[in-house]
């Protein structure tokens, strides 16, 4: 199954909230959901019936998948892993998604979106603990150091991102040294530190059917 290649702004409109899939554009008045808050479709704004319980659960799962750019089979594997671990399943699921390498690269400001972060990783621009890692789903653990490869630092877009990162707010579970293109994961994030508009308990209910 291939990744979604269409206009990502439609995904935000479909879920009814900003998923921040377009990088800097999401923070401007050009954001599609600010201009067209209704769901996409050829008939424009239409009245929709009351959503079923299953529909609400499905929408939360789809929203989480789209935020993190994860395919259905991958997402199911993350849920099964979270379900096996001790603790609250929904919270553990979000922690597993947050500690993906592409998400960490995005969170520390090395990329303007998770999609751009995924490209940086897949193209071999990211180093973890001194070794090049080109797998975006790589699990980052506390103590791991992430840097941008020395040869990649002269790429114009990387330099541009460095300037943008100066005003980027880095979560407390991460440390970033933008001047030296480096970052470090301090600890696993707590639920209150994961600022995604997802009600994870609905996802757990969906997979528990």
How far apart are the C-alpha atoms of 25 and 18, rounded to whole Å? Answer: 11
Q: What is the pLDDT of residue 51?
A: 82
Residues 112 and 181 in one domain: yes
Task: Reply yes or no on whether the pLDDT at 129 is more than 90.
Answer: yes
The residue that leads in pLDDT, 83 or 51, is: 83
The residue that leads in pLDDT, 170 or 23, is: 170
The residue that leads in pLDDT, 24 or 91, is: 91
Task: Reply yes or no on whether the pLDDT at 37 is more than 80.
Answer: no
How far apart are the C-alpha atoms of 97 and 76, rounded to whole Å? Answer: 12
- The packing angle between helices 89-98 and 200-207, to 10°, is 110
The residue that leads in pLDDT, 19 or 86, is: 86
Does a structural domain hold residue 115?
A: yes
Q: What is the pLDDT of residue 1?
A: 39
Task: Reply yes or no on whether the pLDDT at 43 is more than 60.
Answer: no
What Å distances lie between residue 69 and 65, 73, 103, 177, 190, CA to CA? 6, 12, 9, 26, 21
Does a structural domain hold residue 40?
A: yes
Q: What is the pLDDT of residue 209?
A: 84
Task: Reply yes or no on whether the pLDDT at 71 is more than 50.
Answer: yes
| Contacts within 8 Å (CB) and 24+ apart, 182-185 | 182/145, 182/146, 182/147, 182/148, 183/104, 183/108, 183/110, 183/145, 183/146, 183/147, 184/143, 184/144, 184/145, 184/146, 185/99, 185/104, 185/140, 185/141, 185/142, 185/143, 185/144, 185/146
- Mean pLDDT estimate for the chain: 86
Mean pLDDT, range 19-41, rounded to an integer: 57
Q: What is the pLDDT of residue 168?
A: 84
Residues 26 and 77 in one domain: yes
Residues 116 and 176 in one domain: yes
User: Residue 171: exposed, middle, or buried by beta-carbon count in 10 A (0-12, 13-18, 19+)?
Assistant: middle
Q: What is the pLDDT of residue 178?
A: 93
Mean pLDDT, range 95-105, rounded to an integer: 98
- Domain range spanning residue 58? 9-97+199-207
* Per-residue pLDDT band at 154 (split at 50, 70, 90): very high
Residues 35 and 63 in one domain: yes
CATH of the domain at 67: 1.10.1050.10
> Whose structure tokens read 């070794």?
131
The tokens for 77 are 């594997």
Comparing CA positions, the residue from 13, 188, 205, 7 lying closest to residue 100 is 188
Q: What is the pLDDT of residue 165?
A: 86
Task: Reply yes or no on whether the pLDDT at 184 is more than 60.
Answer: yes
E strand or H helix that includes residue 62 = helix 53-68
Q: What is the pLDDT of residue 151?
A: 95
Q: What is the pLDDT of residue 39?
A: 62
Measured in whole angstroms, how far is the alpha carbon of residue 58 from the centre of its chain? 18
Does a structural domain hold residue 149?
A: yes
Does a structural domain hold residue 3?
A: no
């Amino acid at each position: 199954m291939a990744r979604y290649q269409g206009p990502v702004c439609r995904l935000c409109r479909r879920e009814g909230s900003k998923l921040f899939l377009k990088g800097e554009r999401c923070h401007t008045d050009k954001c599609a959901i600010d201009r067209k808050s209704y769901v996409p479709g050829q008939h424009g704004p239409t009245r929709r019936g009351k959503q079923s319980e299953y529909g609400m659960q499905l929408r939360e799962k789809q929203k989480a998948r789209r935020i993190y750019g994860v395919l259905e089979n991958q997402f199911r594997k993350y849920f099964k892993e979270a379900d096996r671990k001790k603790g609250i399943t929904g919270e553990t699921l979000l922690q597993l998604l947050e500690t993906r390498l592409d998400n960490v690269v995005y969170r520390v400001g090395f990329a303007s979106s998770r999609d751009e972060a995924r490209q940086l990783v897949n193209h071999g621009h990211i180093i973890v603990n001194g070794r090049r890692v080109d797998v975006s789903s790589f699990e980052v653990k506390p103590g791991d150091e992430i840097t941008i490869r020395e040869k990649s630092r002269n790429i114009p877009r990387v330099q541009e991102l460095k300037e943008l990162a100066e005003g980027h707010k880095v979560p407390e579970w991460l440390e970033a040294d933008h001047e030296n293109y480096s970052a470090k994961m301090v600890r696993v994030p707590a639920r209150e530190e994961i600022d995604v508009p997802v009600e994870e308990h609905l996802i757990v209910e969906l997979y528990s059917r």
